[in-house]
Chain A
Amino acid sequence: MNERVGTSVLRLTGISKVYGEGPTRVDALRPTTFEARAGEVVAIVGPSGSGKSTLLTIIGLINPPTAGSLLINGEPVITDGVAVTNLTTMRRRELGYVFQRSNLIPFLNAEENVRLALEIDGVPAGQARGRARELLESLGLAKRLGALPGKLSGGEQQRVAIARAMIHQPSVVLADEPTAALDSGRGRQVMELFRDSAHAHGAAVLVVTHDHRTLDLVDRVLEMEDGVLSEKQPD
């Protein structure tokens, strides 16, 4: 288990997102306060259009909030809706992303896709290669290191994507419907992988999902409805 586990890695305070104004105003995300700790897997569920993706893009530092503050690892990133640090650097170092479709770079093989996340941050190629191989081997992909994404199965692609999201040991991993394209068995494998990786790497994993079959594998479930985020009580 990673020594960071249990520490607060993500804190949102009064984060909101409003599109338009006057009669066309849409409150995509109402003021939201939320905290995630290293090692925990948090599922965010809710109907389409409820604001899940908006929340994800704000935490992913892709979409600026209208108001509120965001801290990663205790460091202020957004204060009163304004970025106070270099968001590109924060994305590179503190965040990892996994998507419904693996979105691997098609012209890079499995190992290159994973080590790219390190090399982008200036890690020497040899060191990055070693770490990528080690991680992929731990995910059961030792024989698929040189395979291009098109030659990998859906489950293999998602494991490579998770490796890419974890390789640089980010504080927060954001996953958008990561099991939607997988069958039930592989979906559970992916969620187990998130859980294991979160503990191993000391990251908080936020999973936006519609897949209720895997919710028993997460630590917390948050529900989003009409832009309001709330803790979902166990059924």
Chain B
Amino acid sequence: MMDLAVRDIRNDLSRFLLTAAGLGMLMSVVLAMTGIYNGMVVDATVLPDTYGGDLWVVQKGTQGPFAESSRVPALLADRVRAVPGVARTRSYMTLNVQHELEDGETLRFMLAGLSWPDDLGNALPLAQGRALRQPHYELVADRALGLPVGASLRLGRDDYTIVGVTSGMVSSSGDPLVFASVSDALRIQNDLASEALRLERESRVSRVRRSPYGRDPASLARAGSAAPLPVTAPPPVTAILVDVAAGSDVEAVKASLQGWPDISVYTIDEQRELLVRGVIDRARRQIGLFRALLVLISAIVMGLIVYTMTLDKMLSLSLLKLLGAKQRVILRLILEESLLLGVSAYLVALLIGELAFDLFPRRVLVQDMDRLALLGVILGLSIAAGMVGLRKALAANPNEVLAS
């Protein structure tokens, strides 16, 4: 039996292709939504995945550093390192920077600290250049920042040189990541204008003069550790990363640290979970609902298209019935056309994805499973739409041919 669906499509190919292109565009938005969500998850976990560490030590009572803000003293790294089973500790800190270039363009990025000299950034996915080689004035920046190796960036009161360029390193909010040593990051974070520094210095001198220890330094020695000392500790970091020694039990080390009253401890998996569940859950649900809405709209549009295509053929369908065509001939015609339309739309969606998703400012990560799932959804929609058309088609009356 000749393929009636193919011949019908061939008869008005441009209309079919235009319809498929329109539907394909709609489907590409569904695919993009999936890719954007996947990209968000990957982007969100770039930092913990890059830094690694078995345990993350954060401020007591917080879930930081991704879920909420956390501040711990930088010297905490030394205390933690003394715990049995701990092989290495690293300071971790990030800060958001918005920097205006000379040409007026604004650079927005997240500055992340590398714990010099333990962590030079060798684990970063470098596309060009190298990792850090010195503790100051060097940066490794992501390609999304748009600055090449060798470019100079003035942050605070110092000039920093980009020595390496990474690929795909962005924060959970989509800003490119820039890596510097923790000490440089702290310097940039705590940079104050000269006037502010002068005022702060005057303020401290004034406070010391008002304090009994300032007027009589010997009273400090008399008071001992009970003296209410003004705190002059180094600037805090966000968290301390702990690498557990080979052969040691991560949970045992965690249990040891959890007994400390000034910190909270999480495994890296717990941090990832907190990040995905806490930070991007709302966005995930929003995208999920939007995607469901798009699928519903696609279903309605596709149903209407197939119904209209069926209406256009009603006389031919009546004629087929009059000629004694079996129901399956009509069923095949309608369903095959609907499926061909769906598959064509799917191919258009894939093509748009290949051509356009890389141009999106944020990562759009479409995986094979997503493509398969979309194919499944489209086949389901095609069959459902085909059923709508089929219901009309089976109602075709051979009498219509005589009446026409």
Contacts and interface: CB of A to CB of B under 8 A. Distances in A.
B319 A105 contact: yes
Interface residues of B, number: 24
Contacts of A53: 402
A88 B324 contact: yes
B315 to A, nearest CB: 7
A91 B322 contact: yes
A106 to B, nearest CB: 7
Contact of A115 (B2, B4, B319): B2
Of A93, A107, A116, which is in contact with the most chain B CB atoms at under 10 Å from its CB?
A107
A93 B324 contact: yes
A91 B398 CA distance: 11
Contact of B401 (A93, A97, A107, A121): A97
A26 interface: no
B324 A107 contact: no
B397 to A, nearest CB: 8
A91 B323 contact: yes
A119 interface: yes
A70 to B, nearest CB: 16
A101 B315 CA distance: 12
Interface in A89-130: 89-93, 95, 97, 99, 101, 103, 105-108, 112, 115-117, 119-121, 125
A181 B324 CA distance: 26
Contact of B399 (A62, A88, A105, A148): A62
A101 B11 contact: no
A85 interface: no
A176 interface: yes
A57 interface: yes
Contacts of A200: none
A105 B401 contact: no
B233 interface: no
Given A107-B10, A120-B1, A88 B326 contact: yes
A131 B304 CA distance: 39
Of B7, B398, B402, which is in contact with the most chain A CB atoms at under 10 Å from its CB?
B402
Contacts of B1: 119-120, 125
A106 B313 CA distance: 9
A18 interface: no
Interface of A: 53, 56-57, 60, 62-63, 88-93, 95, 97, 99, 101, 103, 105-108, 112, 115-117, 119-121, 125, 148, 176
Give 3 nearest A-B pairs by CB, closest first.
A92-B324, A107-B11, A91-B324
